[in-house]
Amino acid sequence: MEETYQYENIYIGAFIYTMGYIAGKGRLKDISLNLYQQTPKDKILADLFANWGGKNFLIEFKRSKKQIKNELKKENKNKYIRYLNNEAEQEIKNISKKGHFLCFPVFEELQFSVYMNINNPVIKSWNIEVFVKTINCNNGNIGLSFNEFKEYLNIQMRKQIHQVYRE
């Protein structure tokens, strides 16, 4: 029997709900969410851009682990992933590891992995509760400062923009 999966927007909603729940249990911080799923910006950025208490991050959601391979079929994304893994300076790799993630279900539980590990996302992954709690803690290693995020977005745009608008 083939396993069925929810749509990405269901996973995005679960993530947003969990963020609110965890934030509400602790000290509520400012949260800003920008949903780019199925928009032209999704082609370059990700499905979701968030800022939580000054920590910025991008998340690409996939319906299933199998659909992660579809991300690699997008020429601009594939080129960008190759850049991150092979050519980028260590500082940019470290920034990417803190601010750009991939979300996918494993046995009906959402897992979060570093986007640049897309070829093998289970190398290191967190479940939704651990991921959100790590964002919410002050010393967590998830989330970028404004300057780090600005630098990362500039590089991401430069490496992908020409490819996207040729398609």
Query: Tell me: the pLDDT tens digits for 83-119?
Result: 988 888 899 999 999 999 999 988 878 999 999 998 8
Quote the tokens at residue 26. 């602790």
pLDDT band at 143 (very low <50, low <70, confident <90, very high): very high
Instruction: Judge whether 1 lies within some domain.
Output: no
In a domain, 21, yes or no: yes
What percent of the chain lies above the pLDDT cut of 70?
86
Q: Name the β-bridge partners of 164.
A: none
144 located within any domain: yes
- Angle (CA) 51 93 36, round 5°: 35
User: What pLDDT is attached to residue 97?
Assistant: 93
With bands split at pLDDT 50, 70 and 90, how would you rate the model's confidence at 165?
Answer: very low
User: What is the percentage of the chain residues whose pLDDT exceeds 90?
Assistant: 24
What integer pLDDT is reported at residue 40 of this predicted model?
A: 65
In a domain, 2, yes or no: no
What does the alpha-carbon distance between residue 149 and residue 143 come to, in Å, rounded to a whole number?
A: 9
Q: What is the pLDDT of residue 114?
A: 93
- Which range among 23-32, 70-79, 142-151 has the greatest average pLDDT? 142-151
In the predicted structure, residue 59 carries a pLDDT above the cut 90: yes
Residue 61 maps to a domain: yes
For residue 77, tell me if it sits in a domain: yes
Segment 14-36 shows an average pLDDT of 79
DSSP states of 27-69 as a string?
----EEEEE-TTSGGGGTS-SEEEEETTEEEEEEE-SSSTTHH
Phi first, then psi: give them for residue 100, nearest 5 degrees: -135, 120
Residue 115 forms part of a structural domain: yes
What was the pLDDT predicted at 2? 47
Provide the pLDDT for residue 148: 94
Q: How many CA atoms lie within 13 A of 114 on its CB side?
A: 17
Residue 152 placed within a domain? yes
Domain that holds residue 126: 8-166
Domain count, the chain: 1
